[in-house]
Amino acid sequence: MELQAPSRWRCVDFISDIHLHAADPLTFAAWRTYLRSTSADAVFILGDLFEVWVGDDSAQIANSFEADCVAVLQEVGRRLPLFIMQGNRDFLMGPDLMALSQATALPDPTVLIFAGQRWLLSHGDALCVDDTEYQAFRREVRSAKWQQTFLAHSLAQRQGIARGIREHSQSRKQIATEYADVDGPEATAILNQRNSDHLIHGHTHKPGQHPLGAGKMRTVLSDWDANAVPPRAEVLRLTQHANGAALVTRLPAALA
Q: Are 42 and 9 contacting, i.e. CB atoms less than 8 angstroms apart?
A: yes
What 3-state class would DSSP assign to 235?
Answer: strand
What is the percentage of the chain residues whose pLDDT exceeds 90? 87
Task: State how beta strands 198-201 and 110-114 pair.
Answer: unpaired
**Domain locations in the chain as residue ranges:** 2-255
Long-range pairs for 213-216: beta carbons < 8 A, 24 or more residues apart? 213/188, 214/188, 216/187, 216/188, 216/191
- pLDDT single digits (tens) 1-51: 999 999 999 999 999 999 999 999 999 999 999 999 999 999 999 999 999
Confidence band for 156, pLDDT divided at 50, 70 and 90: very high
Confidence band for 162, pLDDT divided at 50, 70 and 90: confident
What is the C-alpha to C-alpha distance for residues 242 and 231, in angstroms, rounded to an integer? 34
Q: Are 83 and 43 contacting, i.e. CB atoms less than 8 angstroms apart?
A: yes
Cross-strand pairs, 236? 14, 250
Q: Does 96 score more than 60 pLDDT?
A: yes
Looking at CATH, the fold of the domain delimited by 2-255 is given as Purple Acid Phosphatase; chain A, domain 2 (3.60.21)
Q: Are 46 and 123 contacting, i.e. CB atoms less than 8 angstroms apart?
A: yes
Q: Does 169 score more than 70 pLDDT?
A: no
Which residues, including other chains, have CB under 8 Å from residue 156's CB and lie 6 or more apart? none
Whose CA is closest to 203, among 18, 42, 12, 25?
18
φ, ψ of residue 217 in degrees (nearest 5): -135, 145
